[in-house]
Amino acid sequence: MRVRYLAVPVLLHPMLLVHQAWCQTPTAIDLKAQSRNVDFSAAATTRPFRSGGALPSTCTPGEMFYLTSARAGSNLYACTGANTWTVEATAAASQLADLAASLTSQSTLTIGANCSTAAPCNVRFGSVTHSFTSSTSATVTAGTGTAYGYLDSAGNLTVGHTMTVSCASGCLAVAGVSAFPSNSVPLFTWTASNGAWNATGGVDWRAFQSTTNVAGGPGLLGATANGVTTLSVDPTSVGMLAPVPATSSSACTKGTWSIDTSFYYICVAANSWRRAALSTW
């Protein structure tokens, strides 16, 4: 059987073809499902994380965020729990992040985010070392001013302020503080406005290298050896108590003195004592 076909040419107006091309819906590429061994090393620029001047209020564990308002080295945050951001600093083993403060939200400062049992944050006062094995936080709810983070001489992690600030476990909030107290270890200052921490209000006052300079004042002598400074009385300026002399020529240095129930003794020259009788009235 012979079959014949009739071919009929159809001519379309050029504008119809243009219209068809412009009306095509572009296809979105799913990089996760439609790519393999993606290499962006030759790209002119890459921005793998979201960024901004404030941390998002919500997040899912595994997300990352680059906080542009944070100081260099403390910009990268990871979502470590539902709606919880944690700064990702260098390894805590280097101790460079010990007791650093970071802005977790507009109302909360996290202090010592990297302190742990495996890598404690240690601070020494004289011969006593205080160890912190977990982080804490300070929350502001009202007021405008500056908060002062420091360790007091008893080893308490303290946030002094003139606003309304509360501390979580492991931290003390102390009202009426407008400067670092004497005999404290400064950690940071952070400003707040109208009950919210300022995104760029933090100043790091931690000092890895430090020293204490002790100088003897009038009547005192100071000597430092092996990191220990010893203070003593200057016998040429201050009379020293001596044992009661047996005779007026007992050994002594001018200025030394002694006393018993009957007499007050004073050494007026080398090995030369004088005494005065004591009486009641």
Lowest mean pLDDT among 6-15, 164-173, 272-281: 6-15
Structure tokens at 136: 């804490």
Structure tokens at 234: 């200057």
Tell which of 173, 204, 235 closes a domain. 204
The tally of CA atoms less than 13 A away on the side-chain side of residue 213 is: 2
**Tokens 């050994």 belong to residue:** 251
Taking the C-alpha atoms of residue 121 and residue 115, their distance in angstroms, rounded to an integer, is: 5
Q: Does residue 114 belong to any structural domain of this protein?
A: yes
pLDDT (0 to 100) of residue 24: 61
Count of residues making up the chain = 281
Tell which of 204, 230, 251 closes a domain. 204
Please tell me whether residues 200 and 225 are part of one structural domain: no
pLDDT band at 92 (very low <50, low <70, confident <90, very high): very low
pLDDT tens for each residue of 96-106: 778 999 999 99
pLDDT band at 9 (very low <50, low <70, confident <90, very high): low
Structure tokens at 275: 């005494």
pLDDT tens for each residue of 16-49: 444 555 556 666 777 667 777 778 788 888 888 8
Please tell me whether residues 187 and 239 are part of one structural domain: no
Tell which of 177, 204, 231 closes a domain. 204
Residue 181, pLDDT above cutoff 70: yes
Q: Looking at residues 47-62, what average pLDDT do you find?
A: 90
Please tell me whether residues 200 and 266 are part of one structural domain: no
Between 127 and 243, name the one with better pLDDT: 243
Domain span including residue 226: 220-277
What share of the chain in percent tops pLDDT 90? 50
pLDDT tens for each residue of 211-258: 677 778 888 888 877 767 888 888 888 889 999 999 999 999 999 999
- Percent of the chain that is helix, strand, coil (3-state, to 5): 5, 40, 55
Q: Looking at residues 257-263, what average pLDDT do you find?
A: 95
DSSP state of 47: -
Structure tokens at 240: 């020293």
pLDDT (0 to 100) of residue 93: 45
Please tell me whether residues 194 and 102 are part of one structural domain: yes
pLDDT tens for each residue of 131-159: 999 999 999 999 999 999 999 988 999 99
The model's pTM: 0.54
pLDDT (0 to 100) of residue 15: 53
Please tell me whether residues 93 and 194 are part of one structural domain: yes
Query: What is the rounded average pLDDT for all residues in the chain?
Result: 85
Q: Does residue 250 belong to any structural domain of this protein?
A: yes
Please tell me whether residues 172 and 227 are part of one structural domain: no
Q: Looking at residues 191-214, what average pLDDT do you find?
A: 88
CB 224 within 8 A of CB 214: yes
Provide the domain count of the chain: 2
Residue 203, pLDDT above cutoff 70: yes
Strands 157-161 and 172-175: parallel
Please tell me whether residues 244 and 154 are part of one structural domain: no
Please tell me whether residues 182 and 224 are part of one structural domain: no
Q: Does residue 70 belong to any structural domain of this protein?
A: no
